[in-house]
Amino acid sequence: MKLGISIRNMGPQSTREIISDCAICADQAGLDSLWITEHIAIPPDDAEGSGGRYLDPLITLSYLAGQTEKIKLGTGVLILPYRPPLITAKLIATLQELAAGRVKLGVGIGWMQSEFKALGLDLRKRVRDSERVLRFLTEAFDNHVVTQHDQPFIFSPRPVKPPILIGGAAPHAIKRAVKYGDGWMPMGLKPDALKPIVEDYKAQTKAAHRPDPEVVVMSGLPLNDPGRCREILEAYDDAGATTVIHGQKYDEATELLDAISQLALMT
């Protein structure tokens, strides 16, 4: 099982110096992946902890791709209904090429009503809109020439498609993951709750003649208690997780740098 770290691309912790220091440290420590999230329009009454400041995930990962060498670069998660299919595919393909194939594309359907309203989007259509983007991503990465609005065109650059990890809760996210994805990204599920869902997910992928899926779990590990931390990681491994991503609150880079060092000892 692989280990990764969540880096804050929001609030006062999202300066170029802090995100660079944390990403470089995680890369040099040998962690498998780093992950950042997405919000695009935070209302004033819901801005505690971030001040409404969020860096765009794809641009941020492009910046970090130039700062790092080996670590995989993940979105946890990119909100699909916010994004037009063709432009999104172009941005992802560009990032994947410039990052030398290190992108892991965690995606979700969104939930924050205020963001949908700010974007002029209908929250009730988010599943339909998300699946439209997923279908186009598959088409674009699988074909040299693709068509949108009855117009064929060359999709280039066209690097290897990054693994698509579907975020969200079972059973709906699992159904989407089987149909469109290469894996599933549950948020904060404990190992005992995760295990039966993963068993069912793997059975569905097998029945659909799909490869064994990734299961990337976002969680907070008790790094101050190494023994307990190892027990939890072993439980996640037994439950079928392929990667565990540690996330925590921090005010200064030194706090996350320390966490990265402790996490590296668990690999």
Distance between CA atoms of 136 and 147, rounded to whole angstroms?
9
Are 33 and 68 within 8 A, CB to CB?
Answer: no
Mean pLDDT within 48-53: 94
Comparing CA positions, the residue from 185, 172, 175, 238 lying closest to residue 205 is 175
Q: How confident is the model at residue 61 (pLDDT cuts 50, 70, 90)?
A: very high
Percent of the chain with pLDDT over 70: 100
Domain span at residue 133 reads 2-264
Mean pLDDT within 209-216: 96
Number of independent structural domains in the chain: 1
Mean pLDDT within 218-244: 97
Distance between CA atoms of 49 and 47, rounded to whole angstroms?
6
Mean pLDDT within 178-188: 96
Mean pLDDT within 173-178: 98
Residue 55 confidence (pLDDT) above 90: yes
Task: Give the count of alpha carbons within 13 A of 156, CB side only.
Answer: 5
Domain containing 139 — which CATH number? 3.20.20.30
Q: How confident is the model at residue 240 (pLDDT cuts 50, 70, 90)?
A: very high
Distance between CA atoms of 107 and 76, rounded to whole angstroms?
7
pLDDT digits (tens, 9 = 90+) for 8-22: 999 999 999 999 999
Are 56 and 86 within 8 A, CB to CB?
Answer: no
Measured at the CA of 256, the angle between CA 252 and CA 259, to 5 degrees, comes to 145
Mean pLDDT within 207-226: 96
Distance between CA atoms of 156 and 33, rounded to whole angstroms?
26
pTM value? 0.96
Distance between CA atoms of 211 and 205, rounded to whole angstroms?
7
Supply the pLDDT for residue 234.
Answer: 98
Distance between CA atoms of 64 and 18, rounded to whole angstroms?
11
Supply the pLDDT for residue 144.
Answer: 97
Average pLDDT score over the chain: 97
Supply the pLDDT for residue 267.
Answer: 84
Mean pLDDT within 67-76: 98
Percent of the chain with pLDDT over 90: 99
pLDDT digits (tens, 9 = 90+) for 114-173: 999 999 999 999 999 999 999 999 999 999 999 999 999 999 999 999 999 999 999 999
